[in-house]
Structure 1
Amino acid sequence: MKHVRVRITAHGRKRDIHPMYGVMTRAPFVKRATALQWNYTGDALGILHYVVGDTDALEAAIQEIPEVVGYDIERINEQSCCVYVRDSTTDPLQEMFSTISSGGLVVVPPIEYETDGTVAFSIFGPDDEIQAAERIFPFQLM
């Protein structure tokens, strides 16, 4: 078994991967965002986020994303919330999630959205499967 901490980037394709990716990494009203857990079924993604920032602006942005088929926001205080988002997937999102959620790989939360457009997370699994995932969906080792 191997453990790696990786950083991925959309390489300017945030909207292609999924519009929520750009909201969590680049929206001026999001100060910090973390994905706590998810359930990926291939055609849909349910994901729980912890977000620090302007919750009203976040909700307005979520309502404008056609791929979002449902959401719920639980405010923690004036500047933070938990957000459950269920959305349909795009082809690039399916490619990314099928790569990191197949075989013996385990992605360990939290998944940290960075303001530079990258996402950082840990992967555990067999060395050969981690290397295969890197060939399909390139990531930077941290």
Structure 2
Amino acid sequence: MKRVRITLRPRGDYAPPIYELLAGGASYLERARIVNWNVSNPPTAFLFRLEGAYERFERVLDESGMVSDSELLPITDRECYCFFEGEVSPAARSLFETFTSGSLMTVPPIECNEDGSTTYTIIGTEAEVQAAVDGVPDAVGVTVEAVGGKRVAPDSVVGRLSPRQRDAVETALELGYFDVPRNATSEDVADELGCATATAAEHLQKAESTVMWSLFES
């Protein structure tokens, strides 16, 4: 068995509008993860775990032309499960099917990153994993984040951070942003990353939230 953690960057028909909202397009959602799905037959069904002001997403589901049924299941006032089903494009469906052929399995959750990408782990034979990665369409960028490891799930809380969040945290550590007293600002981090100050601050805030929640999620 081979374990590979990958990041995909779907665009166009591979990324329906509702997905774009879940992957960084809705500022009121702090984190979105796909915890289960069924693409075997239309309509396609997804179960998400959302963090943030998720009540605002209910209106999006109600007004979406692709969603035929949906329900929010609150966990706390800032976290919920979100079920919805509906029609997706053949391109989007084929992207999921690429990683379910043969003995391949996708290990949930799938992290929806704020830059529009998704990060998750697949397991299977070396030949099937390689074929799946090679079979990703040209319109979808793919990056192999890690190969192997002792566990099937992400090995640490670092594995729960998006690639951009990890970059921001690593840069902040190098610059002294987390030192006491603080030796760098979010503006310094932004300059190093080549992004807006607000973007860098958002990456750091979301990373800090993920780390804090991981300490008490039990």
TM-score (norm: length of structure 1): 0.91
1:79 matched to 2:82? The reply is no
For residues 19-62 of structure 1, what are the alpha-carbon distances to aligned partners after superposition, in whole Å with 9 as ceiling and x for unaligned? 22111112111100111111112422211111001122111112
> Counting helix residues as a fraction of each chain, which structure ranks higher?
2
Is this contact kept in 1: 2:14–2:95, CA < 8 A? Answer: no
The residue matched to 2:36 in structure 1 has which SS? strand
Give % identity.
26
1:4 counterpart residue number: 4
Pairs aligned (count)? 140
1:133 counterpart residue number: 132
User: Structure 1 stretches (4+) deviating beyond 4 angstroms?
Assistant: none
2:102 counterpart residue number: 103
Is this contact kept in 1: 2:51–2:78, CA < 8 A? Answer: yes
**What residue ranges of structure 1 are gaps of 5+ in the alignment?**
none
Q: Which is greater in Rg?
A: 2
The residue matched to 1:66 in structure 2 has which SS? coil
Is this contact kept in 1: 2:50–2:81, CA < 8 A? Answer: yes
For residues 62-97 of structure 1, what are the alpha-carbon distances to aligned partners after superposition, in whole Å with 9 as ceiling and x for unaligned? 222211111110112221111011121211112101
1:21 matched to 2:24? The reply is no
Is this contact kept in 2: 1:30–1:51, CA < 8 A? Answer: yes
Alignment RMSD: 1.5
Is this contact kept in 2: 1:42–1:98, CA < 8 A? Answer: no
The residue matched to 2:103 in structure 1 has which SS? coil
TM-score (norm: length of structure 2): 0.61
2:160 counterpart residue number: none
> Counting strand residues as a fraction of each chain, which structure ranks higher?
1
The residue matched to 1:4 in structure 2 has which SS? strand
The structural deviation recorded for 1:16 is 4.6
Moved more, 66-75 or 19-28: 19-28
Is this contact kept in 1: 2:34–2:47, CA < 8 A? Answer: yes
Distance 1:33 1:111 in 2: 9
2:167 counterpart residue number: none
For residues 93-137 of structure 1, what are the alpha-carbon distances to aligned partners after superposition, in whole Å with 9 as ceiling and x for unaligned? 121011111111000001111111110000000111111111221
2:183 counterpart residue number: none
